[in-house]
Chains A and B, each alone.
Chain A
Amino acid sequence: MAPRIGIVGAGHCRFGNSSDYDLVDVIAYAANEALEDSGGLALRKEVDQVLVANMAGGLFNRETAIASALVSRMDMEPCPAELVENGPASGASAVKLAYMAIASGMVDVVLVAAGEIMRSVTGWEATDIVATMAHKEAEYNMGLTLPGFAGMFTRLYMQKYGLTERDLALVAVKDHDNAAKNIYAHVQIPVTIEAIADGPEAGVVNNYVAEPLRMYSTCPITDGSAAVILVNMDSPKAKLFKRRPIRIAGIASATDTHCVHNRKDPLVLDAVRLSAEKAYRMAGVGPADISFAELHDAFVIFELLISEEVGFFERGKSFLAVRNHETDLNGRLPINTSGGLKAKGHPVGATGVSQIFELVRQLRGEAEEGRQVKDPKYGMAVNFGGFGNNVVTTILAKD
């Protein structure tokens, strides 16, 4: 029987522009925060394994082998340390692998530290670097980018289900409202529907990025880091950590075709659905049991699509739930309470751990006043790699 595995420490930096700082320092900052949260920096000597999540430090920062650098920077040698790279799902993948390492019996305590500094390059370069995760010959070489795919995807959804640009703006308004209350968010500025959709200047304020996606349908380019400490709750070491564990009830991943055009229906995200189904089975729960969710809204259309694939809403109906405020902080099922990638920011390699950090805060009841979900039991995070081709779903439980 697999041991119970929980998170006993969580750390995060303020997302934003960290491009004047070193990538390893920024990641180590969040790791230090997680250690202090768990009981103190001395507990780093109890860590059996370090996993670092980062997508493209070699390209953004010309820094590689950063797991080795991190343990040295934190005086943790000879602790084993490896880098996990799975595109924008690197963070949740690292947590999944940490879970597997503990479940295997090889280790009892794993520090997962994640970070990305993307603003060290221009926006055009960052767009290009992120696009390298697309198929080299059939997508990247064409000049296609992730916003480009999201634009094509959104147009299909609009045609099939009647989604409007105003519906996309409503998701952004909700996410910005949440981020405005989140001390860790990149963009802590609320926006109004008048400013980005209804008003006479909306087309200027909220200009097109990849039609029909506009700026407020798209995440910012963000730097930042997040970290969590996983323990075997049944091991003697668990007693060393002062925080009550938030249990990982389910964690699973699945893949889909690398080329988006090779999917039978481009609007169906099989990897999301399959990873969620596996995570639900592992946790012994279903969509109705989830109290709140962090969904990978690099483009707000993803928040809608993912919420359908994981079973929260019928296909083609999620935007109606947004119109009815069901996904607001005080709604039936709050989604992206942190502000999501849309407003909290999306430092690609850090995002998965940042989402799990938010689940931990909410389940502990430690979110800011006005942002705390009422008495949550289960939180879900869905972290996307590529354009939905490598997806990790995590379900945390407050026991």
Chain B
Amino acid sequence: MIDFSAYGELTPHIHGFRCQKCGAIYYPAPMICGKCDSKRDPVTGRNWEEFDLEGPCTLLTWTRVWNLPEGFNKKFLLFGMVSFPNGLKASGRIELEGDPRIGMALVAKAIEADERPGKPVKVFLFEPA
């Protein structure tokens, strides 16, 4: 008997992608490497390596959004754009008290969010380091 729940992804992750031919890294995944023209098969991922995109990052800019779209029941949400030490950048939510500050150190992790209809989605959450 297989217990399918044991094989599910228990901890959400958001992946960066590395082209194994030339080493270029991306987030989100491209279909063609912009450096060496290698193609990526979205099913098998052959010749591409996935890695967890998380951990220390630096806040590039931020906003507090008061008019959230359909499905969100919060008064507001903080959003930000960050830069990782490997050069990749990403956008996501910020969770902290008060106002963020451009240039502040944050830590990125992935969470699951289910505000909108359909399957839960993976979301970046940036928290104070």
Within 8 A of B (CB), among A86-108: none
Type the 1/0 row for B92-129, where 1 means its CB is closer than 8 Å to any CB of A: 11000000001000000000010110000111100000
B64–A211 CB distance below 8 A? yes
B67 touches A147 (CB 8 A): yes
A143 touching B72 by the CB < 8 A rule? yes
Q: Is B71 an interface residue (CB 8 A)?
A: yes
Asked whether B102 lies within 8 Å of A159 as measured between CB atoms, the reply is: yes
Query: Which residue of chain A is the closest to B81 with respect to CB atoms?
Result: A261
Task: Please determine whether A155 and B69 come into contact, CB atoms closer than 8 angstroms.
Answer: no
**Is A259 interfacial (CB 8 A cutoff)?**
yes
Please, which residue of chain A has its CB at the minimum distance from the CB of B113?
Answer: A143
Are A155 and B62 interface neighbours, CB within 8 A? yes
Known A-B contacts A142-B124, A148-B79, A210-B66; the reply to A153 vs B71 at CB < 8 A is: no
Q: Which residues of A contact B66 (CB under 8 A)?
A: 207-211
Whether B64 contacts A144 by the Cβ 8 Å rule is no
B61 contacts chain A at the CB level, 8 A cutoff: yes
Shortest Cβ gap from B16 to chain A (Å) = 11
Let me know if A152 and B61 touch, CB within 8 A. yes
User: In the complex, how many angstroms separate the beta carbon of B117 from the nearest chain A beta carbon?
Assistant: 11
Q: Mark A133-156, 1 if CB is under 8 A from B, else 0.
A: 001011101111101100111011
Q: Which residues of B contact A21 (CB under 8 A)?
A: none
Q: How far, in Å, is A270 (CB) from chain B's closest CB?
A: 15
A131: chain B residues within 8 A (beta carbon): 69
> How far is it, in angstroms, between the C-alpha of A163 and the C-alpha of B27 when the chains are bound?
31
**CB of A122 closer than 8 Å to a CB of B:** yes
**With A152-B80, A266-B81 in contact, do A144 and B67 touch (Cβ < 8 Å)?**
no
Shortest beta-carbon distance from A245 to chain B in Å:
42
Smallest beta-carbon distance B65→chain A, Å: 5
Q: In the complex the two chains form, is B64's CB within 8 Å of A208's CB? A: yes
Chain B positions 63 through 94: 1 when the CB is less than 8 Å from some CB of chain A, otherwise 0: 11111111110000101110000000111110
Are B61's CB and A156's CB within 8 A? yes
Select from chain A the residue with minimum beta-carbon distance to B71: A128
Given A137-B28, A142-B91, A266-B81, A147 and B65 contact (CB-CB distance below 8 Å): yes
Q: How far is B27's CA from A135's CA once the two chains are assembled, in angstroms?
A: 11
Q: A123: which B residues are within 8 A, CB to CB?
A: 67
Which residues does B use to contact A, with CB under 8 Å? 27-28, 60-72, 77, 79-81, 89-93, 102, 113, 115-116, 121-124
List 11 A-B residue pairs with CB atoms under 8 Å apart, sorted by A's residue number.
Answer: A124-B69, A127-B70, A137-B121, A142-B92, A151-B65, A152-B63, A152-B79, A155-B62, A156-B61, A156-B102, A259-B91
